[in-house]
Structure 1
Amino acid sequence: MASGFGLNGGPSRCYNFWQELLGCYVVNSGEGEAGKKKCAPALEDYYECLHHRKEVLRTMKVQAAYRKAEAAHPREVAAQAEQIRSLGLLKS
C-alpha cells in the first residue's frame, strides 16, 4: 500500500524490503552512483514484492511447458463427451 500500512492496519507486506532498501541507501549514500549499484539487488527485491513480475513470468513459463507436454503426449484413455455429460449416472 502506498501509505505503508497493510490492509489490517499493520505494516504492509513489502515494508521489510523497503526498510532494507532504505538502509542500503543510507549506508552507501556517500559513494554516489557506485552506492546505488550496490543497492540494485535490494531495489529488485522491493519491486518484486510490489509487482510480482518474476513470479508471474515463472508461472506463465510453467503453464506453457505443461501445455506443450500435454500436446506432445495426448492422453490415451481420455473420457468421451458422452461420459463427461452423464458422469455415468444416467443412461440416455
Structure 2
Amino acid sequence: MASGYGLNGGPGRCYPFWQEVLGCYVVNSSEGEAGKKKCIPALEDYNECLHHKKEILRAMKMQTALRKAEAAPPRENSPNAEQIRSLGLIGKEEESAAVLAQR
C-alpha cells in the first residue's frame, strides 16, 4: 500500500525494501548521479517486491520448458519405470557378486 501500512495494519510487505532504498539515497545523496547508481540494486529489490516481474518470468520459463519436454518424442534408450524404481540394484545379486569378485 502507498501509505506504508499493510492490509492488517502492520507495515507493508515491501516497506523494509523501501526503507533500504531511502537509506541508500540519504547516505549517497552528496555524490549526485554516482550516488544514485549505487542504489540501483536496492531499487530493483523494491520493484521486484512490488511487481514480482522476475519471479513471474522465471515461472513462465519453467512452464515453457516443461511443455517442451512433454511434447518432445520419447528417448530411444530411456529406462522403464521398473529400472528407475530399482536403480538396477534390486534383484541383481548375481551380477553384483560377479562384479565384486572381479576386484
TM-score, normalized by length of structure 1? Answer: 0.78
Shift in Å, 1:73 = 3.9
Q: Equivalents in 1 of 2:73, 2:55: separation in Å? A: 27
1:40 aligns with 2:48: no
Q: Equivalents in 2 of 1:3, 1:20: separation in Å? A: 16
Aligned residue in 2 for 1:11 = 11
Deviating beyond 4 angstroms after TM superposition, the runs of 4 or more aligned structure 1 residues are: none
Q: Equivalents in 1 of 2:14, 2:34: separation in Å? A: 25
Letter in 2 for 1:33: E
Q: Secondary structure at the match of 2:13?
A: coil
Q: Equivalents in 2 of 1:9, 1:60: separation in Å? A: 33
Letter in 2 for 1:40: I
Structure 2 residues not aligned, in runs of 5+: 75-103
Q: Percent identity?
A: 81
Q: Secondary structure at the match of 1:13?
A: coil
Aligned residue in 1 for 2:29 = 29
Letter in 2 for 1:13: R
Shift in Å, 1:3 = 1.2
Bigger radius of gyration among the two: 2
TM-score, normalized by length of structure 2? Answer: 0.70
What does residue range 1-92 of structure 1 map to in structure 2 within 5 Å? 1-73=1-73
CA RMSD of aligned residues (A): 0.9
